Amino acid sequence: MQLPSDQTLTNDGLEATGRGRILLIACGALAREILDLKTANGWDHMDLTCLPAIYHVYPDRITDAVRQKVEASRDAYDTIFVVYADCGTGGLLKAACDQMGVEMVEGPHCYSFYEGNQRFAEVSESEITTFYLTDFLVRQFDAFIWKPMGLDRHPELRDMYFGNYEKLVYQAQTDDPALTQKAKDCADRLGLAFERRFTGYGDLATTLSRL
């Protein structure tokens, strides 16, 4: 499930006006996982609004879009939390959040906080030739990787883009045999060895639970 850029999901479908509410401003690539966590934990005090998941490919758009969302939502919520890691913004998103007085998820990117930031830091140096996919990116492999890189039109570019990679690690948030098979197919298309690593929701779950 992916929420459009300007869609806010509240419990009753109305604008949030009550006190004690939390707004989560998130990457659209995390929508399904956040909604699953909200449902499983009964986090009815949290509302979710998502920016386009395609910003995963265009990180220079993230900071300004988050800033606009925060400023537009301040009066309706007691707390606003940004469900992005740095995500390629080069520290600009963290600086903007600090300036606005809002918190955000720790870590360099979603692969890190799904794995667990401490664990990812420990293994990342030995996995510099590893390409990562999450549940979302497996589902959206063509739309977010294959086509934006032009591999649908020029498959010969594969070796130029991925020639230095050795392995694809599928960070599975869920136990879904169909997704695992699709992730294997993605690895085959990229010419990479395959590893499935069940991470669950990692630091995303523990961070949201503290709210």
User: 203 lies in a domain?
Assistant: no
Domain count for the chain, please give it.
Answer: 2
User: 2 lies in a domain?
Assistant: no
Note whether 25 and 99 are same-domain residues.
yes
Domain final residue, candidates 105, 134, 169: 105
Note whether 59 and 133 are same-domain residues.
no
- Structural domain range at position 30: 8-105
Q: What percent of the chain has pLDDT over 90?
A: 88
Tens digits of per-residue pLDDT, 77-87?
999 999 999 99
Is the pTM higher than 0.85? The answer reads yes
Among 210, 202, 201, which Cα is nearest to 81's?
A: 210
pLDDT band (50, 70, 90) for residue 14: very low
Residues whose CB falls within 8 Å of the CB of residue 87, separated by 6 or more in sequence, listed in order:
27, 55, 56, 59, 62, 93, 108, 109, 110
User: 1 lies in a domain?
Assistant: no
User: 171 lies in a domain?
Assistant: yes
Note whether 194 and 131 are same-domain residues.
yes
- At residue 20, the pLDDT reads 82
Domain final residue, candidates 56, 85, 105: 105
